[in-house]
Amino acid sequence: MAASAAVALCLGLAACSGDDSGGDGPVKLVFRQFDPESEIGGLKTAVDAWNGSHPDIQVELQTLSPNNIQQFAREANSGSGPDINQVAFADVAFVANSKILQPLDEYLGAGKDDLLATDMVTFEDKTWAVPWTADTMALVYNKEKLGSNKPPTTWEELATTAASIKNGFCFPAAGSQTSAQWFAINYYLWSHGGAFIQNTNGAWSTGATKEQLTSALDFFNGLFTSGATSKSFQAVQDYSDPSIVNGLATGDCAMSYMPPATFATLTKQAGDKVTSAPMPSGLTDGATHLGGRALAVNRNSKHPDQAYEVIKYLTSAETFKTYSQYPASKKTLTELDVPEAQKGYVEQLPHSRSMARYIGSDLTVASIQQLVNQQFSAVYSGQSSSADAAQAILDGLAKGLKG
């Protein structure tokens, strides 16, 4: 009896785990994305519209937030996982290296030329994902709090302007691995001729001198000592932290930086009190980063053709009518009607460059980010001098690059 029950259970489970699109029913695809629910209302609308007009290909939108690419890798390596997976640009190389995605070159064809950040989705001369959205960090400010000051165009101007206002520049300065001070630090370093690592003819090395790093450390620490930034921001990890978003909305903070999706959330709260401008030196080529998300097809998907059809729809202008992100398709980007407050992003985006400059060495971008955030935080909290922290960063990078 027990054996019969076990067999019946196994058969039942086998039936449940089989291909759910067998027979004459519609093809069912799972599309997984990682942005918070609060930012994907427009995406849901677009997916609903697809499902309404494509009864033969139905898409289930799955949210797994925050980004957890390792979960996707675990599922894909065990033969399962969503058909379409949203992948951060910086993660594409890892999943491509593990061959758990389907190459998309034959689908993309010449369409690849229309896309931004293709260097982030290309690995071993194959395209493993389609760049979908593009973003960068722009300067966001409360117009009233900034007063008669113009948005700064250099980092030095930013320090001077911010020091003249209470909480002139609010930024996430925590030492944790994911702390978003990483972006501002890189922007500063890139605009001053350095980078944390660099690839010269295939050989990786550290990309900044001790003096350049010391200068960057002194600059950011100086924001706290000059009063431009309150010390409480040394415990803030994210640009979407309430102390920053509410601070900008209420006028407690004059300036900060954030990606467009967070800015869209902020404008719902603050209305036209806030606006955007390019980051300091943001109109210099390569002085800011081009981030974003790509769409990849799981190698286990039984319906890659249909999955690519959905990807084509998701990258089209139709999706971006409701989805408040910037498309990574140059053509779709030009078709967008961007509100005046978001002009800072649009002006800066063509000058931004992807993080591909950090991809391909033995060091992961996440581990460089952790090392840098820790050392900057160590200076803010008085554990290290800026010279010692700069040396620690160089030593850590050199050790990591050796593998």
Partner 1 sequence: MSRPGRQALPLVTPALLVIGVLFLFPGVYNVVLAFQDLTPFDAPGDAEWAGLANFQAVLTDPLVGSAAVNTVFWLTAATVIIRLVIGMGLALLLHSRVLHRWRLRGFARTAVLVPWMVPPVVAVACWKWIFDGNTGVLNQFLVAIGVLPEGVPFLAQTSTVWWSVIAIIVWRELPFVVIVLLAGLQSVPEEQYEAAALDGAGRWASFRHITLPSLRPVITVVVLMTVIQTFNNFVYVWLSTGGGPGTYTQVLATQLYSKAFVANSLGEGAAIGLAMTAVMAVFALAYLRVSDRGRVEA
Binding site for partner 1 (CB under 8 A): 69-70, 73-74, 77, 94-95, 97-98, 100, 174-179, 230-235, 237, 242-243, 246-247, 252, 363-364, 366-367, 370, 373-375, 377-384, 400
The residues that bridge with 298 in the sheet, in sequence order, are 101
What single-letter amino acid sits at 130?
A: V
Contact 285/158 with Cβ under 8 angstroms? no
Between 36 and 350, CB nearer to partner 1: 36
Cα 293 to Cα 115: distance, rounded to the nearest angstrom: 12
Across 20-90, the runs of DSSP E, i.e. the strands, are: 27-33, 57-63, 84-88
Rounded to a whole number of angstroms, the minimum distance from the CB of residue 270 to partner 1 is 17
Cα dihedral value 236, 346, 36, 76, nearest 10 = -110
- CA-CA-CA-CA torsion sign (286, 288, 292, 296): positive
Phi, psi angle pair for 17, to nearest 5°: -90, 0
Between 77 and 149, CB nearer to partner 1: 77
Q: What are 212's two structure tokens? A: 């350049």
Rounded to a whole number of angstroms, the minimum distance from the CB of residue 87 to partner 1 is 11
116: region left, alpha or beta (phi > 0 left; psi from -120 to 50 alpha): beta
101: region left, alpha or beta (phi > 0 left; psi from -120 to 50 alpha): beta
Between 154 and 383, CB nearer to partner 1: 383
Contact 134/327 with Cβ under 8 angstroms? yes
Which residues have C-beta within 8 Å of that of residue 327, sequence separation ≥ 6? Answer: 132, 133, 134, 315, 317, 320, 333, 336
Between 114 and 388, CB nearer to partner 1: 388
Helices (H), 226-329: 242-250, 260-270, 304-314, 317-322
Between 349 and 379, CB nearer to partner 1: 379
Count helices and strands in the chain by DSSP H and E runs: 17, 13
| CA 100 remoteness from chain centre | 21
Rounded to a whole number of angstroms, the minimum distance from the CB of residue 379 to partner 1 is 8
Question: For tokens 């973003």, what's the residue?
Answer: 135
Rounded to a whole number of angstroms, the minimum distance from the CB of residue 227 to partner 1 is 11
Rounded to a whole number of angstroms, the minimum distance from the CB of residue 373 to partner 1 is 8
Rounded to a whole number of angstroms, the minimum distance from the CB of residue 231 to partner 1 is 5
| CA 270 remoteness from chain centre | 24
Question: For tokens 């390792």, what's the residue?
Answer: 70
Between 21 and 77, CB nearer to partner 1: 77
Between 50 and 219, CB nearer to partner 1: 219
Rounded to a whole number of angstroms, the minimum distance from the CB of residue 27 to partner 1 is 27
Q: What is the chain's Cα-based Rg?
A: 23
Between 30 and 92, CB nearer to partner 1: 92
Rounded to a whole number of angstroms, the minimum distance from the CB of residue 374 to partner 1 is 5
Rounded to a whole number of angstroms, the minimum distance from the CB of residue 215 to partner 1 is 19
Between 336 and 398, CB nearer to partner 1: 398
Cα 228 to Cα 371: distance, rounded to the nearest angstrom: 25
Between 131 and 175, CB nearer to partner 1: 175
Question: For tokens 């790509």, what's the residue?
Answer: 294
Rounded to a whole number of angstroms, the minimum distance from the CB of residue 331 to partner 1 is 32
Between 80 and 154, CB nearer to partner 1: 80
Which residues have C-beta within 8 Å of that of residue 247, sequence separation ≥ 6? Answer: 167, 170, 253, 256
Rounded to a whole number of angstroms, the minimum distance from the CB of residue 246 to partner 1 is 8
